[in-house]
A = this chain, B = another copy of it.
Amino acid sequence: MGILRLGHVGITAPDLELAAAYYTQVMGMDLVEQTEDRLFLKCWDERDHHSLSIRHDTRVGLDRITFKCEHADDLATFESRIEGAGYGVGRVADGEEIGQGESIRFESPSGHPMEIVADVHKVGGRLPLTNPLPYPGDLIGIAPPRLDHVLVTCEEVPEAARFMMDVLDFRLTEQLLDGQGHQVIAFLERGHKPHDIAFVQGPNGGLHHFSFWLDDWDHVRRAADILAFNGISVDVGPTRHGITRGNTIYFFDPMGTRNEVFTGGYRPDPDFPTITWTDDNAGSAIFYYEGEVNARFSNVHT
């Protein structure tokens, strides 16, 4: 099986107290564990120890992108394949990292710290495994059921996408080509959804946003209501993407990292073909209702 899905996103933030307040009270995540310089959070329908980690740092940015694989044996396989592709790999022993067992770490050709892990501590979701409700009765804030995907920037999208496909077995679901036919956006998945990770042209190592799943268009409106109630202006949306077909809102957490809530889209199996967007449809590809991308969305990342 190899990689199952995006496991967790790690970010850095200068104010962990503010981060904890926002991600628990507004986003409605559970704070699973907290150390002097780290926060570990998860959504109510996730069973692993964390899907978001926040490390204290004076700079706001990306700390790490971690993918979850099925078996412990997969680590050695991927280690060998990544090294075979010419990239260095480090091992993190069981017990060294909070909330998870042994992992491998490497920097992707796109300049992003990445990690693969098989064993993540199971803390369980908010619902029991016997006779559960459809959702918990005591949710607060937006309360998405789970993390969905991450979008990052890099100088060479084709190289970044190729690495994910050839070395990590990701599938290319959608791509946007510029006027010269050069791939400038690539959507890649392992979790049988439109994307676990996407790359968009920009500086290497940049984080554009990470995104949470919502179940319904009405939950998108409710999320916008909750953001406004908490004084958080939307960046873009509610709107629809051409790519993925999903409905979305973008906004910034109080430290400056862009968040998204997202619903809809298709369910791609491995036999699904890649969808291609051409330069003349770039606006609709990104924001189907507006038909164009505003400068802030294109230029601001962390």
Chain A positions within 8 Å of B, measured between CB atoms, are 1, 4-5, 45, 47-48, 68, 70, 129-135, 137, 145-146, 191-193, 215-218, 221, 224-225, 227-229, 231, 233-234, 237-240, 242, 245, 247, 249, 264, 266-267, 269-278, 281, 284-285, 288-292
- Are B192 and A221 interface neighbours, CB within 8 A? no
Residue numbers in B under 8 Å from A5 (CB-CB): 269
Q: How far is the CA of A225 from the CA of B241 in the complex (A)?
A: 11
> Which partner residue on chain B sits nearest A118 by CB separation?
B271
Across the A-B interface, the 6 shortest Cβ-Cβ residue pairs: A218-B218, A192-B192, A134-B245, A131-B281, A233-B291, A224-B289
Question: How many identical subunits does the complex contain?
Answer: 4
Nearest chain B CB to A182 CB, angstrom units: 16
Q: How far is the CA of A172 from the CA of B264 in the complex (A)?
A: 25
Q: How far is the CA of A287 from the CA of B288 in the complex (A)?
A: 20
Name the one of B47, B145, B216 contacting A218, with C-beta atoms under 8 angstroms.
B216
Name the one of B146, B216, B229, B249 contacting A217, with C-beta atoms under 8 angstroms.
B216
> Which partner residue on chain B sits nearest A192 by CB separation?
B192
12 CB-based A-B contacts, threshold 8 Å: A1-B270, A45-B266, A129-B273, A131-B281, A131-B284, A137-B229, A145-B266, A216-B264, A225-B240, A228-B240, A233-B290, A234-B239
- Are A274 and B129 interface neighbours, CB within 8 A? yes
- Are B216 and A271 interface neighbours, CB within 8 A? no
Residue numbers in B under 8 Å from A281 (CB-CB): 131
> Which partner residue on chain B sits nearest A285 by CB separation?
B131
